[in-house]
Amino acid sequence: MTYATKARFVLSFIRKTLAQYNLPDELKYLSIIESGLNARAVSRARAVGLWQFMSGTGRYFNLQTDWYVDDRMDPEKSTDAACRYLSQLYRIFGNWELALAAYNSGPGTVRKAVRRSGYKKSFWEVYPHLPRNPSLRSAIHCYYLRYELPSITICLKRLVNKCYRMIRWQ
C-alpha cells in the first residue's frame, strides 16, 4: 500500500471521527505532524501511535497498555481517545491554539506558561513561556495558515515536506 493510499484511508477515518465530536476538520493534520500516519511510531519520549499518546495519557483515556496489548497503536481507539482529549483541552483553555500546545506539551505546562505570562489568554502572549518544540510550532503554524490565509496550499506543502522527511528517517 502506497503512502498516498494509506493517507487517504486513514485521513477519511479521522475526518469522520472528528465530525462525530464536532471538532475542526483541520485537526486531522495533527496526526501527520505527530506520527506521519504511522500507527506504530514510537518517539524518543516513548509516545506511541498515530496520535503519539504517552502511557499515562493513554490510560486516562482507557487505552490499554501492557506487555501484550498497546491500544495506542490501534488507529480507531487512539483516534477516538485523541478526539476526547482535544475536546477536553479545548474546554479547559477556550481556544485551539492553547489546546494544541497542551496536546503537545501537556496541560500542566500550558497552565504554567499562562500563569507566567500574567494569565493572558492569547496564544502569542503565552508563546514565549512555552517550551520550544518543533512539532508544536508546526501544528500552530498550520492552524494559523489555515485561518489567516485565503489558501491552505502553503500549509499542505509544508506538511507534505515534513512527512516526507519523517518517512525518510524511518
Kindly report the three-state secondary structure assignment for every residue of 23-82: CCHHHHHHHHHHHCCCCCCECCCCCECCCCECHHHHHHCCCCECCCCEHHHCHHHHHHHH
Torsion over CA: 130, 163, 41, 39 (sign): positive
Structural domains of the chain, count: 1
pLDDT by residue, tens only, the chain of 170 residues: 677 777 788 899 999 999 999 999 889 888 888 888 899 999 888 999 999 999 999 999 999 999 999 999 999 999 999 999 999 999 999 998 899 889 988 999 999 999 999 999 888 888 888 877 655 555 565 555 455 444 444 555 555 555 555 444 44
117 DSSP assignment: T
CATH number of the domain residue 92 falls in: 1.10.530.10
Q: How far apart are CA 89 and CA 72, in angstroms?
A: 19
Catalytic residue among 26, 34, 76, 97: 34
Q: Mark whether 148 is an active-site residue.
A: no
Chain-centre distance of CA 169, in angstroms? Answer: 20
Question: What range does the domain containing 122 cover?
Answer: 3-169
Question: Would you state the pLDDT for residue 151?
Answer: 42
pTM for the whole structure: 0.79
What amino acid is encoded at 134 in this protein?
P
What amino acid is encoded at 84 in this protein?
R
3-state secondary structure of 20: helix
Q: How far apart are CA 58 and CA 81, in angstroms?
A: 8
